[in-house]
Amino acid sequence: MTSTPLIRVDGVTKKFGTTTALRNVALSVEQGEVVVLLGLSGSGKSTLLRHLNGLELPTRGRVSVLGEEVSNLSGRRLRALRSRVGFVFQSFELVPSLTVLENVLTGALATIRGPRFGLWGYSTALKRTALGHLDRVGLAHLAYQRSDTLSGGQQQRVAIARALIQNPEILLADEPVASLDPESSDSIMALLREIAADAGLTVVCSLHQVDLALSWGDRIVGLRHGEVVLDTPTADLSKAEVMEIYGRVATSTRELEAIATELTVAEVLGDGETDVYEILADALDDTIVGAAPGNSADADYAPRNSPQWS
Amino acid sequence: MVLITERPVLDAAPEPVALPYRRLPPERVAATLTIVALLVVSIVSLVDVNISIPSMLDSWSNAVRFFDRVGVVSFPPLDELLYLTAFTVSLVLCGTLLAAVLSVPVAYISAANTTPGPLWRGVGRFVGVFTRAIPDVVLAMVFVLMFSLGSLPGILAIGIHSVGMISKMFADAIEQVDDGPRLAIRAAGGSKLQEFSSGVLPQVLPSWVATVLHRNDINLRGSVILGYVGVAGLGAEMAHAFKSLDYSLGLGIAIVVFALCVAMEIVSSAVRTSMLGTRPTGGRLGDRLVRLALANRQPPTTAPVGSGDAVENALRRPWTRERVRTVVWGWTAVAVIIGSVLICDISWGDFLTLWSYLPSIAASFWPPSFGNYDAAILVSAMLETIAIALAATVLTLIVSMVIGSLAARNIAPNGRVRGAMRLLLVCIRGVPEIILAIVLIVVTGLGTQAGTLALAFGGIGLLGKLIADSFEEVKPGPERALTAAGATRIQVYAGATVPQGMKALLGHSFYLLDTNIRAATILGIVGGGGVGYYLLNAGQGSKYDLVTSIVLLIFVTVLLVEGLAMWMRRVFR
């Protein structure tokens, strides 16, 4: 790594009261990278993302984004940094009673001074830009509808347009498709990827579905219990490595068993020649060792699952 | 097939089970005992007030004789009447509007999720409680001293007093918003003010408008009493008529005020529903205007997606039904507000001249003193006020339980009964308590009886509606379960509906007690007994130090009741 990374997280620990959300996390993201933060709920993905635009401040450690030390910023300078970083939320977070267009325009508030009440508060030039972004996500025809009359997928498109009007250099997305049905999920993820490629955006996106993360990101960073347990490019991953990823992000044997069952079905229905059980047994072993050190007498988990299909 | 001739009977438990000892938290016990004590005191007060059927019958014959003497009810000349009506409505509107504007910053610093810090929050809450505790009559007395006679004292009195209630409701609404949109604006680099204006305000606006309209109704009813301390308008004319023993004119104006209150109630509820509802379907005036506007202006079809000038097309907002409606309502509101300000003819210059005599006015109010009275007399007058409020509350509670229950969809035997009860409640709510009190006093003579009856009657409109609404909101499951088990209607009511609605009932009752105590102090001004009489006397006799002491007395009482209500809400959460 010769160039300065766009995002650099160094030894960040975050505590909320007595619970530790992040534990000594290190991460660096280069210009133009598309990184997926992978982990189950409660693994610290959202907390980490919120550190990247100063919505949370670390208890310990340093976060630097776009060459600025986030902890040192406040007031206008913090807002200036935030305006250069787009954020897409899991539950869209549109203002329900405002029109779609006005929701998009709220993304540009950092570039204008003072409050705005209603559409007439924004300049025509800004409205034109907003409509352009709405057109980009395919919703210009709904510009004057109340945002709460839209479907989930459409609302997330509006939220993406709201992030785009910031003309961001980095796009952060916190579980952007977790509240959507599979079909809208696919189109939203494709849209994000397209936009990122078009604008040369750096993207950090948190997800909890391994298969989606594998097909979508350039690089996966796995989190478990607030710790980085995995950091790997997705290209040329072998099946065994994929299994390993499943093993790493899971937090309990029950989750792992569920994943194993699903995978087994896939494998058996597919070619059925891979030595799935062995890998799974290893993965299980890892998890259990990780969860309760010193007790590794669990090798009999895989056999208990196997007879059904073998 | 085997016929089962005898059904096996489920045996009772073979061994008697010892009842587990039920341990109640001590605070709950204390709160329950307090409620019982309050009930006992209320009933004792009710007996003390001595409302008996014979005496009411007696006063009925009084009334007949009285109306014989009054003869025909008379009104002021039409042009004068119209001007007075417009003036009173404008004054109330301006006052409420002033309160609405002042309430925004107060609510902003009082709401837990927007306040800049705990200290600010304390200040905001203090302002809320303080302005609520000082009756608008007292404020009007002070402002009449400070400003030339005109609309300004009334506007300021209403404006400042209403900040208490409006800011509290505003702050509650802010605390209930979804924080997500705010967070999104913060993440996009928006400032605190922008977070509020674009993320919070759009979410709370409908509930704010509803609150303001509701307060406007209350203020219109209360404006009558302001006339007694010198604020111009219908109230002043009425007070003047009664003082000069022109009962027929006084009653005529009272009828006008009553009609005005009912009309305002109808208008504001129409505005509320049309704002909460999405589509104008009704035959109301605003909706008709919307349809008229739409008739010759068809909304253009939406721009084709993906075409090159989709953006340019989309820049022109189509005149949809929604937009026309919003614009029509918006401009109507603006016109009404401008009209009100013009009619009020506010003498802005007073704000400049005011400062020269402010110190001397302040000095006449401070330090507080009891004047010629014994402290004991004033305290006992205050106690009398509290007794009136308690007696009225318990009386209202009894009647409202019946009317309110029958007005609830899930309790009323049929739709016709429910409809009739709802209508009755609306009619009762339309009657301003003060008018009722004045008429009762005129008819039955001065005293606590008239005050109590007036308060109790007025309370039914409020409490009955609240009870009906809360009973309609209970979960239907338990009721169905009891019905399925063969319980009678009254058993379902007692076993499922009332227990579920109990908490709300308790809250509403305390709310009523709270408003009754405030109202009871004011009733005294028109002769309804209690501390208000002394307040009016002190004001008219320019004994402002005495006014201060009485206000402090009222203030302490109101705070005590408010604290009690807060405690109850916490314990029975």
The yes-or-no verdict on residue B572 having pLDDT over 60 is yes
Q: Which residues in B have their CB inside 8 Å of a CB on A?
A: 178, 180-181, 183-191, 193-194, 196-199, 201-203, 205-206, 302-303, 305-306, 310-312, 314-315, 317-318, 320, 323
A245 and A224 inside one domain: no
Q: Minimal Cα–Cα distance from A96 to chain B, Å?
A: 7
A174 and A280 inside one domain: no
Chain B contact present for A89, CB below 8 A:
yes
The residue of chain B with its CA nearest to that of A166 is: B188
Q: How many CB atoms lie within 10 A of CB B178?
A: 15
Residues B101-129, mean pLDDT to the nearest whole number:
93
Segment A280-300, tens digit of pLDDT = 555 555 554 444 333 333 333
Q: How many CB atoms lie within 10 A of CB A77?
A: 12
Q: Which of A205, A233, A261 is the last residue of a domain?
A: A233
User: Which residues, including other chains, have CB under 8 Å from residue B436's CB and lie 6 or more apart?
Assistant: B453, B454, B457, B458
A189 and A75 inside one domain: yes
Cβ neighbours of B197 in A, within 8 Å:
115-117
Cβ distance B189 to A80 less than 8 Å, yes or no, reads yes
Q: Minimal Cα–Cα distance from B314 to chain A, Å?
A: 7
Cβ distance A91 to B180 less than 8 Å, yes or no, reads yes
Cβ distance A93 to B183 less than 8 Å, yes or no, reads yes
Q: Is residue A1 part of a domain?
A: no
Q: Band of the pLDDT at B287, cuts 50, 70, 90? A: low
Q: Band of the pLDDT at B449, cuts 50, 70, 90? A: confident
- Say which amino acid occupies B165: M
A98 and A217 inside one domain: yes
| Contacts for B64-67: CB closer than 8 Å, 24+ residues apart | B66/B247, B66/B442, B66/B443
- Say which amino acid occupies B307: S
Q: Minimal Cα–Cα distance from B573 to chain A, Å?
A: 26
Q: Testing the interface with B: which of A50, A116, A117, A144 to mutate, by most B Cβ within 10 A?
A: A144
pLDDT of residue B511: 85
Cβ neighbours of B185 in A, within 8 Å:
106, 109
Q: Is residue A144 part of a domain?
A: yes
Residue A217's domain comprises 7-233
Pick from B181, B189, B191, B182: nearest CA to A53: B189
Q: Testing the interface with A: which of B176, B177, B182, B186 to mutate, by most A Cβ within 10 A?
A: B186
A11 and A114 inside one domain: yes
> What distances in angstroms separate CA B252 from CA B234, B237, B247, B366, one per listed residue?
11, 11, 8, 40
A263 and A157 inside one domain: no
Segment A239-291, tens digit of pLDDT = 667 777 777 766 566 666 666 665 555 555 444 444 555 555 555 555 544 44
**CATH code for the part of the protein at B381-571:** 1.10.3720.10
Size of interface A-B (CB pairs under 8 A): 121
Q: Is residue A74 part of a domain?
A: yes
Q: Is residue A134 part of a domain?
A: yes
pLDDT of residue B298: 43
Segment B52-84, tens digit of pLDDT = 666 666 767 777 777 777 777 888 899 999 999
- Write the CATH number for A198: 3.40.50.300
A194 and A244 inside one domain: no
Which residue numbers in chain A have pLDDT < 70? 1-3, 239-240, 249-310
- Say which amino acid occupies B122: G
Q: Minimal Cα–Cα distance from B319 to chain A, Å?
A: 10
- Cβ–Cβ under 8 Å, residues B405 and B467: yes
Segment B168-184, tens digit of pLDDT = 999 989 998 889 999 99
pLDDT of residue B55: 67
A269 and A143 inside one domain: no
Q: Is residue A2 part of a domain?
A: no
- Cβ–Cβ under 8 Å, residues B92 and B220: yes
Say yes or no: ipTM exceeds 0.90. Answer: no
Q: Band of the pLDDT at B568, cuts 50, 70, 90? A: confident
Cβ distance B188 to A109 less than 8 Å, yes or no, reads yes
Residue B253 C-alpha from the chain's centroid:
23
Q: Is residue A286 part of a domain?
A: yes
Q: Which of A181, A207, A233 is the last residue of a domain?
A: A233
Q: Which of A186, A203, A233 is the last residue of a domain?
A: A233
pLDDT of residue B8: 61
Q: Compute chain A's Rg from CA coordinates.
A: 21
Q: Judge whether B87-280 and B381-571 match in fold.
A: yes
The residue of chain B with its CA nearest to that of A172 is: B187
**Per the structure, how many domains does chain A have?**
2
A142 and A263 inside one domain: no
A195 and A127 inside one domain: yes
B-facing residues of A in 38-67 (CB < 8 A) are: 53, 55
Would you state the CATH architecture of domain B87-280?
A: Orthogonal Bundle (1.10)
Cβ distance A141 to B199 less than 8 Å, yes or no, reads no
DSSP letter for each residue of B56-118: HHHHHHHHHHHHHHH-S-----HHHHHHHHHHHHHHHHHHHHHHHHHHHHHHHHHSTTT-S-H
A269 and A167 inside one domain: no
Cβ neighbours of B190 in A, within 8 Å:
79, 106, 109-110
The yes-or-no verdict on residue B518 having pLDDT over 80 is yes
Segment B369-426, tens digit of pLDDT = 887 778 888 888 899 899 989 999 999 999 999 999 999 988 888 889 998 998 898 8
> What distances in angstroms separate CA A306 from CA A250, A255, A283, A291, one per listed residue?
20, 16, 15, 23
pTM, 2 dp:
0.78
A258 and A217 inside one domain: no
Domain positions in chain B are: 87-280, 381-571
